Amino acid sequence: MNGTFDAATRSAVVSFQSASGLSPDGVVGPATYRALDEAHWRLGDRLLSFAAGHPYVGDDVAMLQERLLDMGFNPGRCDGYFGQQTERALREFQRNVGLTADGTLGPKTLRALAMLRRTVTGGSPSDRREEERLRSGGSALSGRVIVLDPGHGGEDLGAYGHDVVEAEVVYDIATRIEGRLGPLGVQTLLTRAADAGPEDTGRAAFANETDADLLISLHTDATTSAAPCGVATYYYGAELPHRKVSSAVGERLASIVQRELVARTDLVDCRTHPKAWQLLRLTRMPAIRVDVGYVTNAGDAARLAAPEFRDAIAEAVVAAVQRLYLPADLDVPAGQFRMAALAG
Is 78 part of a structural domain of the chain?
Answer: yes
Is 14 part of a structural domain of the chain?
Answer: yes
Is 330 part of a structural domain of the chain?
Answer: yes
Q: pLDDT > 70: what percent of the chain?
A: 93
Beta partners for 291? 219, 232
Question: What's at 192, amino acid-wise?
Answer: R
Q: What is the mean pLDDT of residues 45-69?
A: 90
Q: In angstroms, how far is CA 166 from the centroid of its own chain? A: 20
The model carries a pTM of 0.79
- Most confident range (mean pLDDT) of 229-243, 255-269, 314-328 is 255-269
Does residue 318 surpass a pLDDT of 70?
yes
Q: Are residues 67 and 192 in the same domain?
A: no
Q: Given 123, 139, 172, which residue is the final one in a domain?
A: 123
Q: Are residues 215 and 321 in the same domain?
A: yes
CATH number of the domain enclosing 40 = 1.10.101.10
Q: Which long-range contacts (CB under 8 A, 24 or more apart) does 59-68 make?
A: 59/240, 59/241, 61/86, 62/240, 62/245, 63/240, 63/241, 64/90, 64/105, 64/113, 65/89, 66/240, 66/243, 67/43, 67/113, 68/93
Q: Are residues 194 and 331 in the same domain?
A: yes
Is 218 part of a structural domain of the chain?
Answer: yes
CATH number of the domain enclosing 220 = 3.40.630.40
Q: Are residues 146 and 288 in the same domain?
A: yes
Q: Per-residue confidence at 241, pLDDT binned at 50, 70, 90?
A: low
Pick the range with the lowest mean pLDDT from 36-50, 88-102, 117-131, 287-301: 117-131
Q: Are residues 39 and 182 in the same domain?
A: no
Is 1 part of a structural domain of the chain?
Answer: no
Q: pLDDT > 90: what percent of the chain?
A: 60
Beta partners for 236? 275
Does residue 343 surpass a pLDDT of 60?
no
- What does the pLDDT read at residue 344? 44
Asked if residue 57 lies in contact with residue 115, where contact means CB atoms within 8 angstroms, the answer is no
CA atoms in the 13 A half-sphere facing the CB of 100: 6
CB-count burial class (<10 Å; 0-12, 13-18, 19+) for 8: exposed
Q: Are residues 101 and 227 in the same domain?
A: no
Q: Given 74, 100, 123, which residue is the final one in a domain?
A: 123
Q: Are residues 84 and 107 in the same domain?
A: yes
Q: Are residues 23 and 158 in the same domain?
A: no
Q: Are residues 160 and 212 in the same domain?
A: yes
The rounded distance, in Å, linking the Cα atoms of 219 and 235 is 14
Structural domain harbouring 28: 7-123
Does residue 258 surpass a pLDDT of 50?
yes
- What does the pLDDT read at residue 327? 84
- What does the pLDDT read at residue 95? 92
- Number of domains composing the chain: 2
Q: Are residues 166 and 113 in the same domain?
A: no
Nearest to residue 300, comparing CAs of 289, 292, 308, 311? 292
Nearest to residue 162, comparing CAs of 300, 298, 307, 310? 298
Q: Are residues 112 and 139 in the same domain?
A: no
Is 195 part of a structural domain of the chain?
Answer: yes
- What does the pLDDT read at residue 335? 75
The rounded distance, in Å, linking the Cα atoms of 142 and 258 is 23
The rounded distance, in Å, linking the Cα atoms of 302 and 226 is 13
- What does the pLDDT read at residue 30? 86
The rounded distance, in Å, linking the Cα atoms of 272 and 116 is 37
Asked if residue 190 lies in contact with residue 149, where contact means CB atoms within 8 angstroms, the answer is yes
pLDDT tens per residue, range 127-161: 666 777 777 778 889 999 999 999 999 999 999 99
Q: What is the mean pLDDT of residues 237-250?
A: 78
Does residue 110 surpass a pLDDT of 60?
yes
Q: Given 94, 123, 152, which residue is the final one in a domain?
A: 123
Name the more confident of 58 and 239: 58
Is 2 part of a structural domain of the chain?
Answer: no
Q: Per-residue confidence at 6, pLDDT binned at 50, 70, 90?
A: confident
- Most confident range (mean pLDDT) of 78-82, 123-127, 310-314 is 310-314
Q: CB within 8 A of 217, min separation 6: which ones?
A: 149, 151, 203, 279, 280, 287, 288, 289, 290
Does residue 181 surpass a pLDDT of 70?
yes
Q: Are residues 27 and 145 in the same domain?
A: no
Does residue 213 surpass a pLDDT of 80?
yes
